Structure 1
Amino acid sequence: MEGQRYPEHLVFGLDIGTRSLVGTVGYKENERNFKVVAQCMKEHETRAMLDGQIHDIPKVAESIEYIKNTLEKQIGKKLTDVCIAAAGRVLKTITVKADFEFQSETVITEEHIHSLDLLGVEKAYDVIREETKEDNTNYYCVGYSAVRYYLNNYIITNLEGHKAGNMGVELLATFLPDEVIDSLYVAVEKAGLQVASLTLEPIAAINIAIPEKFRLLNIALVDVGAGTSDISITKDGSIIAYGMIPFAGDEITETIAQKYLVEFNTAEKVKAACLKKKAITYKDIMGISHKIQPEEVLQGVEDTVDKITKGIADRIIELNGDKSVSAVFVVGGGGKIPSFVKLLAHHLGLSEDRVALRGAEVLNEIEILQPGIKKDPLLVTPIGICLNFYNQRNNFITVTVNNERVKLYDNSKLTIVDAALCVGFPNEKLFPRRGKPINFTLDGSKRFVRGELGEAAVIKLNGEIASINSSISQNDKIEIKESTIGADAVYEIRQLSEYKSTIEFIFNGKKIICPKFVMVNNELVSEFYSISDGDEINILNYYTLEQVLEFMDVEYNGQIEVNHVAAPLTEKVYENFTIDCKIGSGMVFSTSSLNTDNENDLYNQNYDNEDNEEDIIKNPEPKEALEENQNSIPNVSAREKKEIEILINDTAVKLSGKDSYIFVDILDFYFFDTKVAQGNSLILKVNGESAEFTTEINDGDITELYWD
């Protein structure tokens, strides 16, 4: 084959069986024909695999590396990627129905169908997680088949090109435990290869052995390997079930080993010689030579073959709704024992011509370019594995997150956040986290102040800075340094938008500025008090008349007027109220007879009475002014310095306490949880235009904040 020219891309398929490994390299010439350019088979030197499960990873890796090196020499090219299949050991199947409703009638494309299938796969994942939550085993979807599609609730063969308001799929998904998949991946990687696609062995086999044109019939395919017999069933144009039993060719070999007292490898050679119908010479473990005829060996394993075929027949009937199928195709080396198809037909209640060993007849569209390779049932699964590469629907990718290897089902839309969540990286640690908030009540209304935002997670993809929405692919290396927590909220009374540090009255024609009182948990505090979580705050927006007079520390007598009306000492005096009273010897100072132009000296005003005495208005401590009357002061909200009103997600919200506002200020007045991502990206808009957290916000603006 030296000097042969091949296409740039060759597909390497590897069937890692219980007894042997078969490697196939080829390419698809067109939609139907596949050309095999090289093939290599190697038997395990030890029982490194049992019942389709790898037990000795290093030994299997050595065999894979041998296959790889041999094929590379044959084709003159280096092989880096390989397509593999898993046996149906401990296989679980889930059937689900998924639907998708279009907003308006839409022409369905291939992308729509793919998305619908993935909806079904995700639904199947939900079902199996619920079913297996008690045993703490992770399961991976290794393949799925659409049993039937629905167009506007009617069954249809192919959705593509049809116009529909809704579409649906009934989907059969197959799952295997992670330990089965992990061992395959590790062995392949130890051999210097990367997994390009993964499928299930019965899926690979059925794509070759039962073409779609035959699937209208109720047919079973049995792939008899060494450790497992994998089963798939078709009906009404679809694959309706997958299953397996853990009995196959090795049981026959073990029977020969026990009957003729030979070790396993010798028994395997005896079994292979029987198929050639030649006399067999062997030595038992005592060193004694023997010669036997094939008929004697076949008669000796009849009971074992009967047990295996009975198990397969029972499983087929169970998967097919407690009834037999119309016909059975058998592939794989284990089914080549002459009595196998006869006994299977008997247990299924079928005539012998309805059960057939499939080989060359199902490989008509396969051209083998390598000389000396005969079309055989053994080749069905390896070639099916290669063909699965072109489908790619049943593919996994492997990436590394913070040095932890993780497999992801490839829906062609995977991002860093998918990988992070798969390894259990907390979603909130991807986004900036706020420090502890302060929750309190202000004049009976609940309020809170957010903590400071920390820094977002630092994410690197293959050494380069990336975002959580960056796309990922096979073998990517992801590093995530979790986000930081910002400082806890710190807020003082004077920062409250409702708080005004002073309150003004007109006393005998002069403006008087008094400190505003604030009570926290029924105790007076200053404007510099740092609010604590759970505080109950009341801003007192008036004085009593008695408190004003105590604050001024003046002697008074006679009638006192508030807003020109006689008032008792308990009268409430609000902002800009006027007070008129007699001071000292009794002269009344009228608000109309005093000069009010000079208001610069607000705390020290001079008053001339008829005795020409000088009285000084003083600023006593708030506690002294309210010591006797604090319980009689109700809660009255202060006027705000400045506020604007906007719409946020169609909700009217008032922003107050600042001279100007930016988008992030909205979060102090409107609750929106940024800790839990409910989409791929956070959308900010102001008046229909994209915005940032620093975009200026003005009165009447229409804003939007939501996850896409």
Structure 2
Amino acid sequence: MENHNIFALDIGTRTVIGLIIKNSGENLEVVAQHVETHQDRAMKDGQIHDVNKVAAVVKKVKENLEKRSKTKLTSAAIAAAGRTLRTVRGSATQDFSNISLINHSHIQQVEVEALVRCKNEIAKLFPDEPLYCVGYSILTQKLNNYNIDTLEGQKGGLVEMEIIATFLPNIVIDSLFEVLKKVDLAIESLTLEPIAAMEIAIPPRFRMLNLALVDIGAGTSDIAISKGGTIIGYKMVQKAGDLITEAVAGHYLIDFQTAEELKITLSRQEKANITDILGIAQEITRDSFNTAIEMAVSDLADDISKEIIDLNGKPPSAVFCVGGGSQVGLLREKLANNLSLPLERVAVRDRETLENVKFKNTRTKSLRGPEIVTPLGIGAIAKKKAIHHFITVYVNEKEVTLFNAKRTTVAQGLFSAGVKVEDILKGGMGKDIKYKIQGEEIVIKGTRGFPGEIYLNNKKATLDDKVVEGDSITVIFPHNPQNALMLIKDVIKPYKKYVAVNHEKVSVIDEVLVNGINVSEEYNIKTGDQIEFIYKLRLHQLNLGINFDEHEVYFDGEIITGNPSLTGVQEITYKKKQQDSGTKLKNISVNANGQEIIITKENPLVVDVFDKLNFDISNPKGVLVIKKNGLESNFAESVVHHDKIEIHWN
């Protein structure tokens, strides 16, 4: 027989409760129910510590309910512990003053920036705990400092937004999934325990009132606050019924299981009999029992009251208690006293006080108390097909599990997959170069690339598009952002200084130093480089290749002697000193392509050197390059003793 009913499974610290709920009609109709107790401390504080042991207990519950309902159970509705929820707020501001009208894309940019800040903040708070975003909501949005409900379509201006984002540790969901896998159950829906308890204990029509719900289990106490028609927040106290049970065990010298049974018995009747570990039989009255547990109950009540006031800002109008740990009567009194409430305003919700709930087997004595509320809430959320469950999508073929809160979008999928959404929107930027040149700091900006593209099931999509189970999201990342690239030759021009030597420009830069090391003009500048130019300061540093005894040298038309400074000089000219007629010509030695060439001629030229050089120009092999002393030259330029001539094909 095909299963159309809901299997609601509450995997708690002390017990596993299973309900089969009829999936039809407006009311919750419980067809079958069963509870099993963990024999070992396989769970602590709501967290699974031994998957195999917990799975064994779940299997017992499943098999019992299958037998009773004569149905094969293939999926279950479950809840994650509320203590694991991590919530942070993040805000962002962007100036759209130059935009005529704000559109949906502009709003998304602000949302994404706020979400990134939430992610950064949660990473700081929990640096060693893997977390992923299960959803976020906009708390406030402003335009030019005014609160506004809808930004889209407004005239551009300064947009401010604050969001609240919720994160869940991987370990919580992973361990629940593993337990269900071991007993061949799929997940029908998944919610959070405080949300489930609130769903059934405080119906939506009551949430206009300022109410506190306290779900007191064995290891943890979850708190939820309603106000103004919504749930305004959640808190958790990491102590609950086990704290009282341990106090009972220590006081009466009994084992933990006997202490648990004694606690439950005296919540229903005035007397109970026990035998301690010494074999001594005792009759325990409720009054003496309350005295024994008063300190532990006060400790628990104090912590719960403090968290309620911290979350709500003041005592609420009333408190509803659910969960097995709330059955200790003394706890109501302590909470009422701490919160300055009449005792009747601290109520325990049990099976008899719930609305729109029916049980097929009304004679069963088990699960009649407040422990039934959370599993009923799990079933209620699954029954109305609430969207507090997990779905699997694929981002660039990588499987991603998403908590499907309200409406799951492409943006949430990318965010959970670790994709930087802001980089896709902005197109990515190449890296800048920051360096110093002659002591002045310079920044060369990288260039922006083309924005990325997003596809949902092979169709172009936006960040706001809805995703469902099995959807495939493909991201084409931004392309062609260029890192800044700069060579020395690209920046040297403003720093070059020249003098005119016989009407030709000659650079007076002697060396280019980067971080103290001599480099060529082809050097690729890097961030952090310190560039310095060393200049030739004296005449002889120009290496003019002349014999100063045989030449007259002029600075800006005035004859000079010695090795004067080049500072302020615009033009240098030189010429051979005049010789008397009949003076014997001297031999001039030059180096041409590595060969020594001797020329005996007055005012020899480069062409005279070329004539003596064995260089074949009958078969051109490119462009003829002529250099004298490392500088470009030509055939008609004069040469002097010790000049260095280079002639080659380029």
Per the normalisation by structure 1, the TM-score is: 0.53
Q: Determine the structure 1 residue equivalent to 2:372.
A: 379
Show the counterpart of 2:83: 89
C-alpha distance in 1, partners of 2:180/2:387? 21
Partner of 1:251: 243
Q: 1:383 to 1:123 in 2, by over 3 A?
A: farther
Q: What do the CA deviations read for 1:143-173 (whole angstroms, capped 9, x no partner)?
A: 77787899997788xx9xx998699997654
Matches within 5 A, 1:1-12: 9-12=4-7
Query: How many Å separate the matches in 2 of 1:71 and 1:150?
Result: 53
How do 1:668-683 residues align onto structure 2 when only pairs under 5 Å count?
none
Residues 264-343 of structure 1 mapped to structure 2, 5 A cutoff: 264-277=256-269, 279-321=271-313, 323-343=314-334
RMSD: 4.9
Shift of 1:26: 1.7
Question: Alpha carbons of 1:399 and 1:269: their partners in 2 closer, same or farther (altered >3 Å)?
Answer: farther
SS in 1 for 2:82: coil
Q: What is residue 72 of structure 1 aligned with on the other side?
A: 66
Measured at CA, do residues 415 and 317 of structure 1 come closer, stay the same or move farther in structure 2, by a change above 3 Å? closer
Structure 1 counterpart of 2:378, one-letter code: I
Partner of 2:29: 35
CA separation of 1:469/1:534 partners in 2, compared to 1, >3 Å: closer, same or farther? farther
Displacement of 1:226 = 0.8
Corresponding position of 1:188: 180
CA contact (8 A) 1:406 1:423 kept: no
Q: Which runs of 5+ in 2 are unaligned?
A: 425-456, 478-521, 525-606, 608-616, 635-650
Q: Is the 8 A contact 1:146 1:238 kept in 2?
A: no
Q: Distance in 1 between matches of 2:147 and 2:280?
A: 70
Tell me which residue corresponds to 1:217: 209
- How far apart are the structure 2 equivalents of 1:416 and 1:246? 30
In structure 1, C-alpha distance between the alignment counterparts of 2:28 and 2:315, rounded to whole Å: 33
User: Unpaired runs of 5+ in structure 1?
Assistant: 429-465, 484-532, 536-569, 571-617, 635-708
After TM superposition, list the pairs within 5 Å mapping 1:298-697 onto structure 2.
298-321=290-313, 323-360=314-351, 363-373=354-364, 375-389=368-382, 390-397=384-391, 407-410=401-404, 412=408, 418=414, 421-422=417-418, 620-623=619-622, 626-628=624-626
Mapped to 1, the partners of 2:110 and 2:60 lie a distance apart of 40
CA spacing shift, 1:104–1:405, aligned 2, 3 Å: closer
- The CA deviation string for residues 517-568 of structure 1, in whole angstroms up to 9 with x for no partner, is xxxxxxxxxxxxxxxx999xxxxxxxxxxxxxxxxxxxxxxxxxxxxxxxxx
Q: Counterpart of 1:231?
A: 223
Aligned CA distance change for structure 1 residues 414 and 105 (closer, same or farther; 3 Å)? closer
Partners in 1 of 2:109 and 2:252 — Cα distance? 53
AA of the residue aligned to 1:626:
L
- What SS does structure 2 have at the residue aligned with 1:622? coil
Partners of 1:37 and 1:633 in 2: how far apart? 104
* Structure 1 residue 338, shift from structure 2 partner: 1.1
Structure 1 residues 331 and 286: CA distance shift in structure 2, 3 A: same
Q: Give the % identical residues.
A: 38
- Alignment CA distance shift 1:268-1:472 (3 Å): same
Q: Paired residue for 2:530?
A: none
CA contact (8 A) 2:211 2:227 kept: yes
In structure 2, C-alpha distance between the alignment counterparts of 1:27 and 1:633, rounded to whole Å:
100
Q: Provide, for residues 354-392 of structure 1, a one-character-per-residue CA deviation record: whole Å limited to 9, x for no partner.
A: 211122465211222244356532221111112223354
Indicate conservation of the 8 Å contact 2:351/2:372, yes or no.
Answer: no
- Per the alignment, residue 190 of structure 2 pairs with 198
**How far, CA to CA, are the matches of 1:620 and 1:632 in structure 2?**
22
Instruction: Check whether the contact 2:323–2:371 (CA below 8 A) recurs between aligned residues.
Output: yes
User: What does the per-residue CA deviation read over 1:444-484, in whole Å, with 9 as the maximum and x for residues that have no partner?
Assistant: xxxxxxxxxxxxxxxxxxxxxx97999997689x9x9xx9x
The C-alpha deviation readout for 1:594-651, integer Å capped at 9, x for no partner, is xxxxxxxxxxxxxxxxxxxxxxxx972325x6143898699xxxxxxxxxxxxxxxxx
Secondary structure in 2 matching 1:628 = strand
Which amino acid counterpart does residue 384 of structure 1 have in structure 2? Answer: G
- Alignment: residue pair count: 448
| Residue 20 (structure 1) aligned with residue 11 (structure 2) | no
Q: 1:75–1:331: structure 2 CA closer, same or farther, 3 Å change rule?
A: same
Cα distance in structure 2, aligned partners of 1:148 and 1:393: 24
Equivalence for 1:563: none
For 1:292, give the aligned amino acid.
Answer: I
Return the offset for 1:342.
1.2
1:280 shift after superposition: 2.2
Q: Distance in 1 between matches of 2:141 and 2:355?
A: 30
SS in 2 for 1:262: coil
Please state if 1:59 is matched with 2:45. Answer: no
- What secondary structure sits across from 1:130 in the alignment? helix
C-alpha change, 1:388 and 1:172, in structure 2 (3 Å) is farther
Q: Say whether the 8 Å CA contact 1:328–1:356 is kept in structure 2.
A: yes
> How far does residue 38 in structure 1 lie from its aligned partner after superposition?
2.2
Moved more, 192-201 or 267-276: 192-201
Quote the Cα distance in structure 2 between the aligned partners of 1:142 and 1:73.
Answer: 36
User: What one-letter code is carried by the residue in structure 1 that aligns with 2:13?
Assistant: T
Moved more, 309-318 or 296-305: 296-305
With structure 2 as the length reference, what TM-score do the two structures score?
Answer: 0.58
Distance 1:70 1:239 in 2: 36
**Equivalent-residue separation in structure 1 for 2:178 and 2:109 (angstroms):** 27
Tell me by how many angstroms 1:337 deviates.
0.9
